[in-house]
Amino acid sequence: MRDRLTSTDALVRPSAVAALWAVDGDLAEVLPLLLGLLDDRITFRIGDAADLLGEIGPPAYGVLPRLRDLLTHDYEWVRVPCAAALWEIGGEAEAPAVLDTLLQAMTQNPATGTAITPCRPPPALVQQAQRHTLRHQQSLSRCTQSPTE
């Protein structure tokens, strides 16, 4: 399994890191590998790394600064899993940054709203995000409707 950690195949390396974590649970070994994936140019690798960091939770607190940096990434499908991981690791203290990121992503791409559920935010945060999504969808539908006479 460890020989797959340096694979150049886009799918193999994140899977190998996840398998290593599942088998060994050695944060000291996995964390540098995940940080490397967070710096990857392949966006789904960043998302995969963020997802695994979210599963690891608070023990991965050392990556919080890097996750915060990624909240400004150009691609919303990078920002959303990083926000979810930030929530899972940092909890309530990260709520303002997480909410802001998720709302911006949903405004840019309403489909990102489906990614809120995995980060298990408090109900009030979910409700606020859902209201925002509904308002956005309603405004879009008003913009596309032809005027009635």
All structural domains of the chain with their residue ranges = 2-144
What's the pTM? 0.78
Q: What is the pLDDT of residue 66?
A: 98
Phi-psi region of 25 (alpha: psi -120 to 50; beta: other; left: phi over 0): left
Q: What is the pLDDT of residue 53?
A: 96
**CATH H-level superfamily of 2-144:** Leucine-rich Repeat Variant (1.25.10.10)
CA pair distance 38, 66, nearest whole angstrom: 8
Low-confidence ranges of the chain (pLDDT < 50): 149
CA distances for 46 relative to 42, 51, 126, angstroms: 7, 9, 24
Q: What is the pLDDT of residue 142?
A: 65
CA distances for 102 relative to 35, 77, 97, 114, angstroms: 22, 10, 9, 10
